[in-house]
Amino acid sequence: MDRDELLHWLRTEDRGALAELWARADSVRQAHVGPAVHLRGLIEISNRCTRRCAYCGINATNHHIARYDMPDTAILACVDRAIELGYGTVVLQAGESPLWSRDRVAALIASIKRRAELAVTLSLGEQDRETLRCWRDAGADRYLLRFETSDPELYARIHPREPGAPDRLEILGWIKDLGYEAGGGVMIGIPGQTWDTLANDLTTFERLDLDMIGIGPFIPHPDTPLGHDPTAWRAPVRDQVPSDEALVYRALALARLLCPHANIPSTTALATINHRAGRELGLQRGANVLMPNLTPTHYRAMYDIYPAKHGLTADTPYDSQHLRTRIHTIGRTIATGPGSRNHRSPPSPRRSH
Ligand code: SAH
């Protein structure tokens, strides 16, 4: 698909054309990754962060939140819960903090891997190559690091760089070299993000041949520079990409068409802007993964990367039975096992003779 075609799909308001896009994404999803939805249990192990990302509510300059580190015993209790629920993967996510040292995280990964045949995904921000190698050696299988936007100037504005720190795209290269499954992704509707940039974001997914792609709406957080005064950051009106639900689905569907074998979650941020149906619509427009939040409720409220994060209360639709019913209601099944990226398509249910 060339750029003009991508831009056409991103910008079209034509209902018939959109229905065609959803149908194409859904059939490519079915043909390449099948009907099964993979459940990845998310554990938000700490909200400490030394970085100053202008979009993120747990950035170091936000003094309105209390900071926490989950003790290993609490993390392992969540892992046991994931095992009990039959999930094949746990995802450890946090800000960047020296308290989560190379050795501490390596020991944690090793103890998770000793407990069960679970895949371990890390989402622990920017790390040096040796640290990534050590965690891979300890047993980590996958690493999520969204590059947030493919526009270097916009990226530099929203993501102040530490002196000498490598770029996220460079780190994604290391992640792949080290044999992790690599996940990238972007937010949609970042003030200053243009249509051209968004088309580039999509072709970047394809160029990097990502195993996992996370796409969600940008949700302003009032205690961040970007959320406090978004108009100061906006691109000229005609160029500015809106942070709206419809556009997230379009980007998701196009990511599926460009990267047919990738594991693509229907993200929590999407469920946050549409509690009622966002999760299912994501699954019906290209996604094949959900990331139920297993973080204990009292920590969850402090993991405040954007406001009103879906599933903040104990009464969460991620309640296991409810979630299963919702997946079955849209005609899908629940995957078992780790659910790694499969480069081959699942066998066709029809016989060839
Ligand atoms: N520190 C890690 C993981 C935590 S943030 C990291 O930076 O990779 C995980 C993802 O949440 C980010 O990659 C970003 O895409 C998303 N995020 C952060 N702030 C957000 C906001 N205000 N709206 C929507 N998504 C946001």
Task: Write the residue with the smallest CA distance to atom 8 of ligand 1.
Answer: 125
Q: How far is the CA of 56 from the centre of ligand 1 (A)?
A: 6
pLDDT, one tens digit per residue, over 131-185 is 999 999 999 999 999 999 999 999 999 999 888 888 999 999 999 999 999 999 9
Q: How far is Cα 83 from Cα 104, in angstroms, rounded to an integer? A: 22
Can you give the pTM of this predicted structure?
0.95
The residues that bridge with 36 in the sheet, in sequence order, are: 333
Q: What is the mean pLDDT of residues 10-15?
A: 96
The residues that bridge with 43 in the sheet, in sequence order, are: 92
Q: How far is Cα 57 from Cα 60, in angstroms, rounded to an integer? A: 9
In the prediction, which pLDDT does 348 show? 64
Task: Write the residue with the smallest CA distance to atom 7 of ligand 1.
Answer: 125
Determine what percent of the chain is predicted with pLDDT higher than 70.
Answer: 95
Query: What SS3 state is found at 75?
Result: helix
Query: Is the CB of 168 inside a 6 Å radius of any atom of ligand 1?
Result: no
Q: How far is Cα 222 from Cα 349, in angstroms, rounded to an integer? A: 50
pLDDT band of residue 313 (cuts 50, 70, 90) is: low
Q: How far is the CA of 338 from the centre of ligand 1 (A)?
A: 24
CA distances from 297 to 67, 133, 163, 233 (A): 14, 32, 36, 34
pLDDT band of residue 235 (cuts 50, 70, 90) is: confident
Q: How far is the CA of 246 from the centre of ligand 1 (A)?
A: 20
* Token duo for residue 233: 């950051």
Query: Is the CB of 284 inside a 6 Å radius of any atom of ligand 1?
Result: no
Task: Write the residue with the smallest CA distance to atom 6 of ligand 1.
Answer: 125
Q: Which atom of ligand 1 is nearest to the CA of 96?
A: 1
Q: Which amino acid, 140?
A: A
pLDDT band of residue 315 (cuts 50, 70, 90) is: very low
Q: 55, 201, 223: which to mutate for ligand 1, most atoms within 8 A of CB?
A: 55
Q: How far is the CA of 238 from the centre of ligand 1 (A)?
A: 26
Handedness of CA 334, 337, 339, 343 (dihedral sign): negative
Could you tell me if 10 and 198 are in contact, meaning their C-beta atoms sit under 8 angstroms apart? yes
Backbone angles phi, psi at 323, to 5 degrees: -60, -45
In the prediction, which pLDDT does 234 show? 81
How is 128-139 classified by DSSP, letter by letter? -HHHHHHHHHTT
CA distances from 106 to 46, 133, 140 (A): 16, 10, 9
Backbone angles phi, psi at 210, to 5 degrees: -70, 145
Could you tell me if 16 and 315 are in contact, meaning their C-beta atoms sit under 8 angstroms apart? no
Q: Which atom of ligand 1 is nearest to the CA of 49?
A: 1
pLDDT, one tens digit per residue, over 82-129 is 999 999 999 999 999 999 999 999 999 999 999 999 999 999 999 999
* Token duo for residue 46: 């700490």
Q: How far is the CA of 305 from the centre of ligand 1 (A)?
A: 6
| Residues found in the chain | 353
- The closest alpha carbon to 39, from 342, 343, 333, 344, belongs to 333
Give residue 72's Cα distance to chain centre: 24
pLDDT band of residue 229 (cuts 50, 70, 90) is: confident
pLDDT, one tens digit per residue, over 34-73 is 999 999 999 999 999 999 999 999 999 999 999 999 999 9
